[in-house]
Amino acid sequence: MEPDRDIVIWVSIAKPVVIKHKLLRGLTYHLRGYAMTKRSLASTAENEVSQLQSVSLISLDPEAELIYGIKTVQAVTKFLIVTAAQKMQAHQDRIENALIDKLLLHVGSTTS
């Protein structure tokens, strides 16, 4: 265990998926991932630097291709990947903003 590291792990299973108001019965997708913040090797006592790393894995149930066909599965997979990437970017932006706010509060309290 590293004292300067925080890790959040998530597992999500979504069933059923609705696309363009059409319910794809039985189509289940899984989203797994983690986000980790840690002290950067570039950190010094005078200049603390953190790193944020996030990893996600999106998958559909194996039988989806047999039931819906390859084109539908590819379209759903592309949609899920793009949507997940947009959400991850939004989450990263929120984390970065929170870290900046924390730093500014710290700097403001030390200069007062």
User: Structural domain of residue 28, as residue ranges?
Assistant: 5-111
What does the pLDDT look like over 58-102, one tens digit per residue?
888 888 888 888 998 888 889 888 988 898 888 888 888 888 888
Q: How many CB atoms sit inside 10 A of residue 29's CB?
A: 20
Q: Round to whole Å and give the CA distance between 72 and 25.
A: 13
Overall number of domains in the chain: 1
DSSP string, 53-94: EEEEEEEE-TTHHHHH-HHHHHHHHHHHHHHHHHHHHHHHHH
pTM over 0.85: no
Query: Which is it for strands 29-39 and 5-14: parallel, antiparallel or unpaired?
Result: antiparallel
What does the pLDDT look like over 17-67, one tens digit per residue?
666 656 666 677 888 888 888 888 888 888 888 888 888 888 888 888 888
